[in-house]
Amino acid sequence: MKVLVIPDIHLKTWIFDRAITFAEDYPDTLWSYGNHDVSYPWGRLETGYSPYAERMVISKLEELENSLKSPAQINIIHRIDNVLFSHGGLTADFLKWLDEDLLDADIDDVIAAVNDAPLDYLWNDASPLWFRSQYETKAVFRADTYKQVVGHTPVEKIFEKDGIISTDVFSTYRDGTQIGESAMIAIDSKSGKFEKIEVMGKLGV
């Protein structure tokens, strides 16, 4: 299966509205939570948290969740065949901390355990919400079997390192200038091979 990956979209009303419309137009999509998304309903303060935006973010996030056919379509981590999708990436260290038995568990049990993990585990630098493979060297979970696609860390170019493909090219500097190239990826869920798809213009134009 070819999977189109739309990288990080951030917490603005118009982006939520577009995301909700997209979810309704394409009902078979999967969505991964990011740290900025869950910080509001979880009440976890972080850089960029705005108390003025809290009510809007929680309301729009619930609207997006309710627009999906199944609650399972939006989660911390997803698997499509041999590709894992999450905000930051899944490491063996995180699973060992969560439950060492998961290191040898069936992949679907691993995914379920991560998605059901307590908030204190997920709100941690090692979790799939926060891990930054671009700067940290940790054992990537079953890198010989699964590719991973992540966002979270702004990059200038889409690239692969240690089996993790970084795609957050649409984040912006404080002045609104886009950090990275205007591109998304389409990835083969069996082979893990991907191609870049150029996007005309800047995000939101």
How many domains, the chain? 1
User: Is 204 part of any domain?
Assistant: no
Q: What's the pLDDT at 84?
A: 99
User: Is 117 part of any domain?
Assistant: yes
Q: What's the pLDDT at 201?
A: 57
User: Is 150 part of any domain?
Assistant: yes
User: Is 89 part of any domain?
Assistant: yes
Q: What's the pLDDT at 204?
A: 45
Q: What's the pLDDT at 99?
A: 98
What is the block-wise mean pLDDT of the chain (205 residues), using blocks of 10 residues? 89 83 95 94 86 90 96 98 98 98 98 98 97 92 98 95 94 87 96 93 49
Q: What's the pLDDT at 140?
A: 96
| Angle at alpha carbon of residue 169, lines to 76 and 123, rounded to 5° | 30
Q: What's the pLDDT at 176?
A: 82
User: Is 48 part of any domain?
Assistant: yes
DSSP string across 109-163:
HHHHHHHT--HHHHSSTTSTTT--TTT---PBTTTTT-EEEE-SS--SS-EEETT
Q: What's the pLDDT at 93?
A: 97
Give backbone dihedrals phi and psi of 110, rounded to 5 degrees, phi first. Answer: -65, -50
Domain residues for the domain of 184 are 2-198
Q: What's the pLDDT at 172?
A: 84
User: Is 205 part of any domain?
Assistant: no
| Angle at alpha carbon of residue 131, lines to 175 and 98, rounded to 5° | 150
Q: What's the pLDDT at 47?
A: 79
Instruction: Tell me the CATH number at 116.
Output: 3.60.21
Q: What's the pLDDT at 205?
A: 45
The four Cα atoms 110, 111, 116, 119 give a dihedral, to 10 degrees, of 90
User: Is 68 part of any domain?
Assistant: yes
